[in-house]
Amino acid sequence: MITFQDLVKSLPSDPNQKGLEFEKICKWYLLNSPFYKKQIKNVWLWSEWKDRWSNQDRGIDLIAETKSGEIWAVQAKAYDSKNQTLQIGKYKYFNNLNLGYWVHQNREKYKRNTLDKEFITLLEKIEGWSWKVYK
């Protein structure tokens, strides 16, 4: 049986092709995972979705429609967390929270040694988390 890591390693080395193939894997997963298939009615790649407002990359890779009629915009990232860090600038906002500012605040608290140790442990469990600033 192939592992998820082996599957990702088998993707093309070209970043654009790798991303497109990974999006197809994510689509399949959302439609077939025991957890998600109970919730999701259909999934489209951004390029397949009839209601997309642009052919340009908008940071949306997949559109999922739930069985209750909700529409989810999904961003799929195929990267090796051992060699890359999560780049918050790509995500900007989550639930109206400015992620870049939030990360900056927590890095500053960490430098001043004023961040709760349990919170540090939780942050360090986030795949791609780094205390360093990358530009």
The pLDDT tens digits for 59-106 are: 788 888 989 988 888 888 776 555 444 454 444 554 455 667 777 788
Cβ atoms 21, 13 nearer than 8 A: no
Instruction: Assess whether pLDDT exceeds 50 at residue 12.
Output: yes
Average pLDDT over residues 104-124: 86
- d(CA 127, CA 82) in angstroms, rounded, equals 9
DSSP annotation of 96: T
Average pLDDT over residues 26-38: 87
Q: How far is CA 45 from the centre of its chain?
A: 15
Q: pLDDT at position 81, please?
A: 52
Q: What is this structure's pTM? A: 0.57
Q: pLDDT at position 95, please?
A: 47
**How sure is the predictor about 112, in pLDDT bands with cuts at 50, 70 and 90?**
very high
